[in-house]
Structure 1
Amino acid sequence: MAAPRWPLLLAGRTVTRGEDLARRTGAALLPWDLADPSPVSTRVRAVVTVVNDPDDRVLRAAVHGGVPYVDLTRWTARLQRAATVAALLRPTAPVLLSSAWMGGVASLVVADLARTLGGADRVDVAIRWDQNDRAGVDSVEFMDRLGLDFEVIEDGQRRTVMPLADSRTAHIDGTDLRVARIDTPEQFTLPLTLGTVTASTRIGFSSALSTSALLAAKRLGFFRWARGERFTPLRRSLLHAPGNGGTAALRVDVTHRGRTGSATVTDPAGQAHLTAVGGLLALDRVLGTDGAPAPASVAFPEQTPLPAALADRLAAQGVTLEKTVEAHGTQDRAA
């Protein structure tokens, strides 16, 4: 990823864990334990949270200080709560809850296709989880909710679905991959922001054997009877076996009035890098670096001003975006 354009201040519970990153980015370090109720005060231009903020302490501090805020880490239920908390606090600076897949990149691609098509009636997101990739604990905590049903919108109606249900095959980055349902925030936000009547996100492992094992565990009810803390290490062993690096890839299909636009996003630097790119794009929008800043209110990625050339902005960070859009029975291809 390109060097940051602004001075950085890294905050965390254990300063020594951030020393290597601070050296590489030229950042300063600040100790901040989110479990400590004592306030932290520092002058910053914007705040980006990349770890869980379970008590909304960072969110509240940013809103009270009138500082633009970006969050990349909340799963759907926590995003819903954060939106409520932030709205009640009446923010005077942008609050961008950008926890859709890969720091909001999936939602930006949906909005980009919707702009081309004139709308987004149906949205399908398919994710390939590369098991060779590096994955942090927060990423796995995001996924470790496979024993909890969640609500989606299908054909304009709310219904509850089971994680890993409704599996199907998706063509992602040149390969066919079996993918199944997972709870992600864009399935909640897109019907509210774009009027999407069907929104679904599915995920599959780069290893077909691992995907089959995960689906078999789901059929046996493993994720329901093993929901307690006692089984946390066992559950996460199925999800968290980070390697030395892999390729992040996802596919987005958007349909509006019979036309379909498809896009594939590929990042050879992996999912952590792609999430960081999503955070950078979000930061640009709350600060107005790309033009008009996001409004001083609570927003989701697809509501904020889109980069004029999303593919170029991603390409500048080593990320490929390839799009195909149907045009009256033909297909227009763009990269």
Structure 2
Amino acid sequence: MGLPKTLRILIAGGYGHVGSNIAGHIRRKYPNIELVLCGRHPEKGEQQAIRLGNAESKYLDLTEDFNLSSFGDIDLIIAALQDPENVLIEAAIAHGLAHISITKLADELAPVIFLLQQGASESRIVLADHWQAGILTLVAKDTAAQFSKIDHIETACLYDTEDPIGPMIAAQLDSFVGRALLRRNRKWEWLDATENVRSLKLSDGSSIDAYPMGTLDVPSLAAISNSPNVRFDISIGTSIGRNKGEKASHDLYIDIEGTLLSGEPAKIRTVVSDPEGQSHLTALGALLATEAVLGLGGHSAPEKGGLYLPETIVSTPIALTRLKEFGVVITHINL
């Protein structure tokens, strides 16, 4: 019997804020996986590659011709950057590789879905384009399991301006509050976020304006729960971490209202707070998707190619264990 194959992962945007966290998380758990950190300025990733070990930094510009063979024998591509022309996904499908995306909004995914249906493909494509690469939906799925019937799911993130972000997220901020998708009284609605603001009550008792977004969490949670009302909102304010006199955290609020398995009416709030901030939490979502699609960390790899979502491929118990391991705090409150 031969030695097991060494896995090799290409991280596009691998030395940016989110990409470097993804690389660090993978290295923490899997020292033998080879990492290829890619971007337009590979010199910026050289020191990181040395610190990580078993890694290299290589040039990648998606506006130029993309030759996958120049990066070696790749098992998984993680797109930690914008890929509007789907260059990396198309390459993964053409070569039968796994691919994880984390940056697309709901109305950008139709081309990927249709492309994947054009014939049998060995590629395992994970659309982890939810908020924090699926973390919010996975935690909400766990809370939703306590209910026999769900009437409302209202979710939100709080971004603290002292939480450092990379140029990719900075460029996206204006587009976050624009055209939004939500489900209201079982109807799917695309609407102007600025005209559909809601007041979000925070853990410290204060309230803040929150604006809906078209993230994949909305259709995912509607499918999981069959709730007639689902929305995801973004807000900007002072995080739980800073309120405690510490550095900025990234906070997620998940409010679920309905009927418990016991038959009692209830409204449960779940608060997810990462003291290391949004890039760290997004990278954890990408780590979970990586483990699931490659069959690592207690997951079984998918037996066939196809389209996957965090909630269809990641084990919820494993996700909760991994979040705790990486210092994320999850609190449940009866409202």
TM tier, shorter chain? 0.7 to 0.9
Select the residue among 55, 59, 65 that pairs with 1:31: 59
How far residue 125 of structure 1 moved from its aligned partner, in angstroms, is 0.8
Alpha-carbon spacing, 1:45–1:132, altered in 2? closer, same or farther (3 Å): same
How far residue 207 of structure 1 moved from its aligned partner, in angstroms, is 5.0
Encode CA deviations 1:144-165: one digit per residue, 9 max, x unaligned: 2257433322110122321133
How far residue 4 of structure 1 moved from its aligned partner, in angstroms, is 4.4
Q: Letter of the 2:39 partner, please give it.
A: G
Contact 1:190 1:199 in 2 (8 A): yes
1:164 aligns with 2:171: no
Select the residue among 186, 191, 203 that pairs with 2:222: 191
Q: Letter of the 1:320 partner, please give it.
A: V
Contact 1:165 1:180 in 2 (8 A): no
Report the counterpart of residue 242 of structure 2 in structure 1: none
Alpha-carbon spacing, 1:14–1:322, altered in 2? closer, same or farther (3 Å): same
Q: Which runs of 5+ in 2 are unaligned?
A: 1-23, 240-246, 260-264
Alpha-carbon spacing, 1:262–1:36, altered in 2? closer, same or farther (3 Å): same
Report the counterpart of residue 268 of structure 1 in structure 2: 275
Moved more, 300-309 or 143-152: 143-152
**In 2, Cα distance between equivalents of 1:181 and 1:13:** 33
Moved more, 126-135 or 77-86: 77-86
How far residue 109 of structure 1 moved from its aligned partner, in angstroms, is 1.1
| Counterpart secondary structure, 1:127 | strand
**In 2, Cα distance between equivalents of 1:287 and 1:297:** 14
Report the counterpart of residue 232 of structure 1 in structure 2: none
How far residue 181 of structure 1 moved from its aligned partner, in angstroms, is 2.0
1:297 aligns with 2:327: no
Alpha-carbon spacing, 1:35–1:118, altered in 2? closer, same or farther (3 Å): farther
1:255 aligns with 2:286: no
1:206 aligns with 2:206: no
| Counterpart secondary structure, 2:232 | strand
Moved more, 315-324 or 189-198: 189-198
Q: Letter of the 1:133 partner, please give it.
A: D
1:125 aligns with 2:159: no
Encode CA deviations 1:36-71: one digit per residue, 9 max, x unaligned: 124222312222110011111111111222222111
TM-score by length of 1: 0.78
Contact 1:162 1:181 in 2 (8 A): no
| Counterpart secondary structure, 1:138 | helix
Alpha-carbon spacing, 1:161–1:188, altered in 2? closer, same or farther (3 Å): same
Select the residue among 145, 154, 170 that pairs with 1:115: 145
**In 2, Cα distance between equivalents of 1:101 and 1:256:** 23
Identity of aligned residues (%): 21
Report the counterpart of residue 243 of structure 2 in structure 1: none
Alpha-carbon spacing, 1:255–1:169, altered in 2? closer, same or farther (3 Å): same
Q: Letter of the 1:79 partner, please give it.
A: L
Encode CA deviations 1:195-254: one digit per residue, 9 max, x unaligned: 33221111221159xxxxxxxxxxxxxxxxxxxxxxxxxxxxxxxxxxxx6211111122
Contact 1:172 1:250 in 2 (8 A): no
1:321 aligns with 2:318: no
Contact 1:130 1:248 in 2 (8 A): yes
**In 2, Cα distance between equivalents of 1:170 and 1:19:** 42
Q: Letter of the 1:202 partner, please give it.
A: D
Q: Which runs of 5+ in 1 are unaligned?
A: 209-244
Alpha-carbon spacing, 1:64–1:173, altered in 2? closer, same or farther (3 Å): farther
**In 1, Cα distance between equivalents of 2:294 and 2:305:** 11
1:217-236 equivalences in 2 (<5 Å): none
Select the residue among 71, 74, 79 that pairs with 1:44: 74
Contact 1:169 1:176 in 2 (8 A): no
**In 1, Cα distance between equivalents of 2:329 and 2:119:** 38
Report the counterpart of residue 15 of structure 1 in structure 2: 42
| Counterpart secondary structure, 1:145 | helix
1:88 aligns with 2:95: no
| Counterpart secondary structure, 1:8 | strand
Report the counterpart of residue 211 of structure 1 in structure 2: none
1:306 aligns with 2:333: no
| Counterpart secondary structure, 1:164 | helix
TM-score by length of 2: 0.78
Moved more, 23-32 or 275-284: 23-32
Encode CA deviations 1:125-175: one digit per residue, 9 max, x unaligned: 121111001111222343322574333221101223211333333344434
Contact 1:167 1:178 in 2 (8 A): no
Q: Letter of the 2:256 partner, please give it.
A: V
Contact 1:10 1:22 in 2 (8 A): yes
RMSD: 2.6
Q: Letter of the 1:151 partner, please give it.
A: L
| Counterpart secondary structure, 1:283 | helix
